[in-house]
Structure 1
C-alpha cells in the first residue's frame, strides 16, 4: 500500500504546489466583471455561489470514466498509482482550469468559439464537428451505462437486452436529460445537484476508507515492475492513458468548464471550481483503482472481470466493502456520476450548436426545436448501441479516443492563449504534445483505426507530436500583438 500512499501524496501536495503556480500565471482579477454578471439572461448566464459551482463542475466532469477507467487501468499494475496523480496535477487539472478561465475572460464563450478565436476558422470547423459528435456519444454512453447499472444492481433485473425494464429506466433518464437541457441551469441542475453530490461523496469516501478497513491487499511498483504487467498483453502506451482517460485528462471537461464560466461571479474562484475539482476526480480514480486491485487480491474479482466487465466489478466491490445498504449507495454514486455528466453534455451540445448556428437561446421555441433534434439523434444512436451486439463496444472505443483527441485541441488553444499573453506556454505544450502522441499511436494501431504495427505507429506518432508542438508555437508567435486575445 506504500505506492498507493505515495500516489495520494503526489496528488494532494502536487495540486497545492502546481495549482498555486497555475493561479499565479493566470493572475485572476477579483474586480473583473464576469459573464455571469454582465451578460445575465436567466437561462445560461446565471450567477451562482462558488460552492454550488464547484459541486456542479465536479458532477459534470466525473462520469463513469474515473470509476470504470481506473478499474481497467489497474491491470497495468501499481504504476497506475503514480501516473494517475502526476497526469492529473500537470495535465487534467491544468487543462480544466485554463479552459474555464479563458472562457471566463471571453464572455463565457464555449469551446468551439474559443477555437475560432485562438486557432482560426479552419481548426474551428474541424473541432466543431468533432466535439459535437463527442457530445452525442457522451449523452448516449451516459444513458446506457447508468441505466444498465440501475437495472442490474438496484432492481436486480436483466440489463443485457432492450427489455421493458431497461426501456423504462432509459426513458426516465431521457426525461431528466431533456429537462436539464431545456430549463435554466439554476432551476434543475443547481437545485438537484446537492442531493446528487451527497450520494457521490458518501460513495467515494466509503470506497476509500473501505480499502483500509477491509485490508485490501495492494501491490507495490518495485515488486511488480512496469513492463509486461498487463495480463492480456496490452501496451502501457497508449492503452493505459486511453483507458483511464477521465481520471487523468479529459477533453470533455473543457466543454463543461465553459458552461460553468457563465455562472462564476469572481475570477478568484477559478482554482477552487476548476483545478481542485479535477483533483477530486483524481482522488475518485485512485480510490476505485485501489479497490479493483484489492478485489483481485482478495479473490472476489478476476483480471478478466476488470478487463471485460468493469461495471460488474463496481457492484462486487461495493457489496463486499460496504454491505448491502452501503453497497447500494456506492452503486448509486456511480450512477449519479454518469447521469450528471450526461445531462450537461447534451446541454453543452445545445449551447455549442446555438453559438455555431447563431440561434437565439432567449426564444423558447428555438431552444425546444434544437433540443428535439439533438434528442432524436441520441435516441437512434442509443437504439443501435443496445440492439447490435458490437454496437456499444465500437461506440465506447471511439468515445474514449475522441475524448482525448478533444483534449489535444484544448491544449493547443491554451498554448496559443499563453503565447499571446506572454505566459509560460510550455505548461500547455508538454501535456498537449504527450496526448497528441497517445491519440496518434492509438488510432494508427487500433483495428478501428489504421491497423499498423506498434513499431510503425510509435514512429509516426512521434513525428505527428513533434509537428503539433512546432506549428502551435510557430502559429502563436506569428499572431500580431495588436490582436485582441485576452
Structure 2
C-alpha cells in the first residue's frame, strides 16, 4: 500500500509542479472569450460550472481503459506503476491539456481541424478518417462491454442491455450537452468515487500485499514472457497516455468558462484518471499471489473476471455489485461522448450547423445505424489494431502541440520529447507485432527509433517551411 500512496503523491505533485510549468509555457489568457461564450448555441457550446466540466471530462476520457489496461499491465509487475505515474505527468496530461486548449483557441474545433491547422491539410484529412474510425470502434465496444457486465449482474440477455445502452447513446448524442450528460454525470461520478475509494480501502484492510514485496520495479514478471518494450506502452494507454482523449477534450473546450481553468479541467482530469489506473494496477499487483495466478483468472473470463472477483472478495456481494456498477459507468460515459464527438467531426467536415435537432439527427441516425451493424459483426481482428491506433493518435496530437509551441517561439520540447518516444513505440510495435510485420524485436526497435528520428526531421523541416510561407505572405 505504501507504493500506491507514493505513486499518488507523485501524481498530485506533478499536477501542481509540472502542470503549472506546462500551463506557463502555453500561456492561457483569462480575458479572452472562450468558445462557450463566443459560439454559444445552447446545444454543444454551453457554459457550465468548472467543477462539472472537470467531472464530465474525467468521465469522458475514463472508459474501460484505466481499468482493463492497468490490470493487463500488472502482469508485467510493479514496473507498470512507473509508466502510469511518469507517463501521465509528462505525456498523458500534457497531451490532454494541449488537445483541450488548442481546441479552445480554435473556437472549439474537433481534433482533425486542430491537427490540420498546425500540420497541414493532408494530415487533417487523414485524421478525419482515422478519428471517425477510432470513435466508431470505441462507441460500439463501449456498448458491448457494459452490456455484457450488466447481463452478468442481472441475468438479462445481452441484446436487451445493448438496446437500452444504444437508446441512451442516441439521446445523449443529439440533445444539448447540459440536459442529459450535464445532469446524469454527477450520479455516475458518485458511483465512480464509491468504486475507487471503497476498493482501495478494502485492499488496505485486507491481508493482501504486493507480490515480490513490491520492490522489484526493474524486472519483467509477465508469465507469458511478453516484452516490456514496446508492449507495456501500448497495453496501458488510458491512465498514462491515450489518443482517444484528443477526441474528447474539444467537447469540454466548448463548455469551459475561462482559459485559466484549462489546467484543472484537462491536465487535472488526466491526473484523476491516473489515480484510477493506479488503483486497478495496485489491485492487480496485490490481490493475487503472482502474475501467473492473475493470468489464470483472466484466462477464465478476461479482465472483467478480475474486476468481479476482486470487487466481490474485498467488498462482499452488495459492495461488489456497486463497485462493478462503478466500472460499468466508465465505458458508458465514454461511449456516449464518443458518438457525440463523431457527430461533431462529421458536422465540421460537411459544414452542417448543429443547432437544429433535425440537422443533428441527419448525422446521428446513419451513424448509429452503422454502429448497430458493427455490433453484430466479429471485428476482433480489427480491434487488435486499436491499441496501436490509439497511441498513434496520441503521437499525432503531441506533434501538433509541438508545432504550435515551436511556431510561437515557446518551449516545444515538453511535447516534442513524448511525441518522439511514442512514435518510436508505435513504429516498433507495428514492426514487431503479429498483426504488423512480425519482425524480431531488435530489428523492430531499430526501425522504430529510426522512424521516430525521421519523423522528427520531417517535423522540423515542415514547420520551418510553413513559417517561411506565412512570413512571405505577410510581406507580400
Shorter-chain TM-score tier: over 0.9
Matched residues in 2 for 1:125 and 1:227: separation? 42
Equivalent-residue separation in structure 2 for 1:95 and 1:314 (angstroms): 28
User: Is 1:349 the counterpart of 2:342 in the alignment?
Assistant: yes
Deviation at 1:221, TM superposition (A): 7.9
Partner residue in 2 for 1:331: 324
SS at match of 1:383: coil
Instruction: Name the counterpart of 1:31.
Output: 31
How far did residue 426 of structure 1 move? Answer: 0.5
Give the conservation status (yes or no) of the 8 Å contact 1:73–1:289: yes
Question: Do the aligned residues in 2 keep the contact of 1:144 with 1:170 (CA within 8 Å)?
Answer: yes
Counterpart position of 2:444: 457
For residues 229 and 192 of structure 1, what CA distance do their matches in structure 2 show?
Answer: 41
Alpha-carbon distance in 2 for matches of 1:146, 1:318: 16
8 A contact 2:57–2:266 mirrored in 1: yes
Unaligned runs of 5+ in 1: 158-164, 386-390
What is the rounded CA distance, in whole Å, between the counterparts of 1:441 and 1:366 in structure 2?
A: 43
Q: How far off its partner does 1:210 sit?
A: 1.9
Kept in 1, the 8 Å contact 2:100–2:266? The answer is yes
The answer for the alignment partner of 2:295 in structure 1 is 303
State the shift of 1:223 in Å: 4.5
1:144 alignment counterpart: 144
Tell me the alpha carbon deviations over residues 147-183 of structure 1, each in whole angstroms, 9 at most, x when there is no partner. Answer: 111111x2146xxxxxxx1110000000000001111
Aligned to 1:315: 308
Q: CA deviation at 1:321?
A: 1.1
**2:201 paired with 1:201:** no
Question: 245, 250, 271: which one pairs with 2:237?
Answer: 245
**Quick one: distance in 1 between partners of 2:100 and 2:220?**
38
Alignment of 1:31-430 (within 5 A): 31-152=31-152, 154-156=153-155, 165-219=157-211, 223-224=215-216, 226-297=218-289, 302-306=294-298, 309-385=302-378, 391-392=379-380, 394-430=381-417
Q: TM-score when scaled to structure 1? A: 0.93
Separation in structure 2 between the aligned mates of residue 132 and residue 316 of structure 1, nearest angstrom = 35
1:478 alignment partner in structure 2: 465
Contact (CA 8 Å) 2:223, 2:292: kept in 1 or not? no
Deviation at 1:24, TM superposition (A): 1.1
Q: Secondary structure at the match of 2:376?
A: helix
Runs of 4 or more, structure 1, over 6 Å off, are none
Q: Distance in 2 between matches of 1:299 and 1:82?
A: 17
In 2, distance between residues paired with 1:167 and 1:107?
40
SS of corresponding position for 2:17: helix
Counterpart secondary structure, 1:138? helix
Q: Give SS of 1:20's match.
A: helix
Indicate the SS of the match to 1:226: coil
Give the distance between the partners of 1:461 and 1:300, measured in 2 at CA: 30
Cα RMSD for the two superposed structures: 1.9
Alignment-derived partner of residue 466 in structure 1: 453
Contact 1:56–1:193 (8 Å) recurs in 2: yes
Q: TM-score when scaled to structure 2?
A: 0.95
Alignment check: 8 A CA contact 1:66 1:282 kept = yes
Task: Note the alpha carbon deviations across 1:1-27, whole angstroms, 9 max, x for none.
Answer: 444333223222222211110111122
Q: CA deviation at 1:474?
A: 2.5
Paired positions, count:
470
Q: 1:146 touches 1:335 (CA, 8 Å); kept in 2? A: yes
Structure 1 residues 3-62: Cα deviation after superposition (integer angstroms, max 9, x where no partner): 433322322222221111011112222111111001101111111110110010000000
In 2, the alpha carbon distance for the partners of 1:412 and 1:438 equals 14
Q: For the residues of structure 2 that align with 1:449 and 1:304, how far apart are their CA atoms?
A: 27
